Each structure stands twice: as C-alpha cells, then as structure tokens.
Amino acid sequence: MSEERQRPEDAPKGIYGPDGEPIFFAEPGVDRMMAVIMNLASELWVERERYLPLDSDRDAEAKAFIDRVFAPLRERKE
C-alpha cells in the first residue's frame, strides 16, 4: 500500500502515531498491548473450542467466554 496516507481533512492533531496507527491511550504501548490481549484471547478460544462437545452451541459458548474474559472492561455491570 502507498506510503501516502489519506486522512479526514478535519482529523484532530495527535490522533495518529508516527507509524500512522491511531493512538487512544496516553501511553501508546497500551494500544498495542490491547491488541496482544485480544489475539491471545482469540487463540485461547480456538483451543477451547477443540474440546467442546459436537452438539454444543458454540456461538453461545463463545459469547459467554468473551463476556467472562473481558468483563473487567465493562463500566456498567449487568
């Protein structure tokens, strides 16, 4: 892909890092760590699904897994 980056004309300054990736957290490394956590959770789910019974509701199981693993990120508890 081209090195030239197309951005919205009114993009606020400082929302992208030197590599062009968006920055959200004050410490940019946290954005990368968030990606690592999500990748790890995905790979863990792949492993878990191998051991599920064939007749299990895998979508429901995946939802329960995600809700459980990422619960600390919720602000409003349900």
Partner 1 sequence: MTLELQHAMKATPTADEAARGRFVSGIRSFILNDLAADLGHAYQTRAAPKFRAANGHDPKTSGDAHKALRGDPAFNIYSSMRVQAQKMVWASVSAGVERDAKRLAELEAQTAGQPGSVQLKPDFIPPRNASAVDVHLMPGSYTGGEGMAAGAVYDRGLAVFSMGLMGSNLDDIGLSMAAYIKRRYPEFAPTAMLDTGCTIGHNSLPWKHAYPEAKLTAIDVAAPGLRYGSTRAKLQGVEADFVQMASDELDFPDASFDLVFSSMFLHELPKKVRAKTIAEAYRVLRPGGLMLHMELPPNGQMAPFEAFYLDWDSYYNNEPYYKGYRDEDPKAVCESGGFGADDYFQFVVPSIGIYGDEAVTQAATSDAAHAVGAETTGRLAEGVMWFGFGAWKR
Return residues touching partner 1 (CB under 8 A).
Answer: 1-2, 4-12, 15, 21-22, 24-26, 30-31, 34-35, 38-39, 41-42, 45-46, 49-50, 58-59, 62-63, 65-67, 70, 73-76
- What is the amino acid identity at position 77? K
The nearer residue to partner 1, 4 or 55, going by C-beta atoms, is: 4
Q: Dihedral angle at the C-alpha atoms of 37, 26, 13, 34, nearest 10 degrees?
A: 0
Minimum CB–partner distance for residue 72 and partner 1 (Å): 10
Q: Residue 61 has which token pair?
A: 């199981």
Gap between the Cα atoms of 8 and 44, Å rounded: 37
Minimum CB–partner distance for residue 43 and partner 1 (Å): 8
Minimum CB–partner distance for residue 76 and partner 1 (Å): 6
Q: Residue 1 has which token pair?
A: 């892909």
